[in-house]
Structure 1
Amino acid sequence: MKKDDIEQLFDRLEGQLSTKEPSTDHQTRFLEKLQSTQPVKETPVRKLNWWKPLAVAASLALVFMVSLTWNTNPDAKELADVSPEMEQTQQFFTQTIEKELFEINAQATPETQAVIDDAIKRLGDLEADYNNLKSDLAESGQDKRVIYAMINNFQNRIDLLEQVLEHIDAIKNLNELKASTL
């Protein structure tokens, strides 16, 4: 029967291995060297808290559902009712806003929660302004100033969301910088 590799190694090195004990001050010298080196910094493991991003997503969904169902004037017209070009414009802005909101939700953290909540409040204000503009459009009969104001409202929403994304990126970069300097 063949011996294990480790046993063969010990058999081959028999008599060549040092069995002497290290000197008495060896351990103290070793510990001094070990303590003189810089300590290894441990990075804390962050637990991902799913409740806050889910709360943000739910609140955004609620804002959109309320804005779609809440209509102060049943005769109010949408921008899409003006012409096929305005319908395409409204679809473009709506899709862009939804995309930006999705990105914001994807990047939500406890540090950015206050910024996101403020943005949701400001979006609600812009949505209320838009509802007033819809009523004005119905009353004015496609006044170009009202149409321009509606388009401007959409642009303001997109600008707001882009500013929020930039703010979130700045917060993330600051946190990464802090983490790298620790």
Structure 2
Amino acid sequence: MKDHQLNELFEKARPHFDHKEPLPGHQARFLEKLNDAGTEPSKGVSWWKPLSIAASIVLVVALSIGQGLLKTTEQERIAEISPEISNSQFYFANIIEQQVKQLEQENSPETKKIIEDALEQLALLESDYKKLENDLLKGGDDKFILQAMIQNFQTRIDLMQDVLAQIEIIKTLKNQQNENNIT
């Protein structure tokens, strides 16, 4: 619509708009309210802003806590899928941890290289295990993945036992050399 058509429309409708006059003193009351609004805020409105900010903070904190409580860890989700693997994982992890501590106690210049290699292999096997956990959580073939997870633990234990046996051989050979050098 063009401006002149819009003006014509309002001119035709004017009698319907202008049918009441404001009450006497309207302009004075309006100006007084306008002047008062700029100088002094009303008492009732002043608490709404801080109260709404506090309520927002409480809401955010409550949601954060609730979200944290609802999250389940990977271990909990794996335990839901297979309680047996959770128990096996705890058992095997303890055995491996004990063997790693024993391995670190055997650290010497003669065994340093073999221990470093063993720890690197353990890290690779742990990485493979994490991939198997992810596959299990994504809904892969449960039986196959669970067997692979247990096999991974068994491989780590076998690796540690082999390394400890090799360290014992190294220690025995060193002791024999020392005995031969003394006599």
Give the shorter-chain TM-score range.
Answer: 0.5 to 0.7
Match of 1:90 in 2: 89
Q: Letter of the aligned partner of 2:106 in structure 1? A: Q
Per-residue CA distance 1:63-122 (angstroms, 9 max, x = gap)? xxxxxxxxxxx9966754433332221110000000101111111111100000000111
2:109 corresponds to 1:100: no
Q: TM-score, normalised by structure 2?
A: 0.55
Conservation of the 8 A alpha-carbon contact between 2:129 and 2:149: yes
* Matched pairs, number: 109
Could you say if the C-alpha distance between residues 114 and 81 of structure 1 is closer, same or farther in structure 2, counting changes exceeding 3 Å? farther
Query: RMSD value over aligned CA atoms?
Result: 2.1
Distance 1:106 1:88 in 2: 28
The higher radius of gyration belongs to 2
Matched with 1:178 is 177
TM-score, structure 1 length as denominator? Answer: 0.55
| 8 Å contact kept, 1:115–1:164 | yes
Partner residue in 1 for 2:129: 130
Note closer, same or farther for the CA distance 1:178–1:87 as it changes in structure 2 (3 Å cut): same
Change (3 A) 1:75 1:141: farther
The alignment partner of 2:108 has SS state of: coil
Q: Which residue type is aligned with residue 178 of structure 2?
A: A
Segments of structure 1 that go 5 or more residues without pairing to the other structure are 1-73
Compared CA separation, residues 85 and 109, structure 1 to 2 (3 A): same
Please list the CA deviations of residues 39-66 of structure 1 after superposition, one character each: whole Å capped at 9, or x if unmatched. Answer: xxxxxxxxxxxxxxxxxxxxxxxxxxxx
SS of the residue 2:109 aligns to: coil
Uncovered stretches (5+) of structure 2, i.e. residues with no partner: 1-71
2-side partners of 1:166 and 1:80: how far apart?
34
Higher relative contact order (CA 8 A, sep 6+): 1
Partner of 1:21: none
Q: Hey, what's the Cα distance between the residues in 2 that align with 1:150 and 1:81?
A: 16
Deviation of 1:143 after TM superposition, in Å, equals: 1.1
* Contact 2:78/2:137 (<8 A) preserved: no
Q: Distance in 1 between matches of 2:139 and 2:82?
A: 15
Per-residue deviation at 1:142?
A: 6.0
Q: Alignment partner of 2:138: what SS? A: helix
Instruction: Please say if 1:113 is aligned against 2:112.
Output: yes
Name the CA distance, whole Å, in 2 between partners of 1:110 and 1:137. 41
Find the counterpart in structure 2 of residue 162 from structure 1: 161
Runs of 4+ in 1 over 2 A off after TM superposition: 74-86
Distance 1:88 1:76, change over 3 A: closer
Q: Which amino acid aligns with 1:118?
A: D
The 2-side partners of 1:81 and 1:155 are apart by: 23
Contact 1:80–1:90, Cα closer than 8 Å, also in 2:
no
* C-alpha separation in 1, matches of 2:173 and 2:112: 16
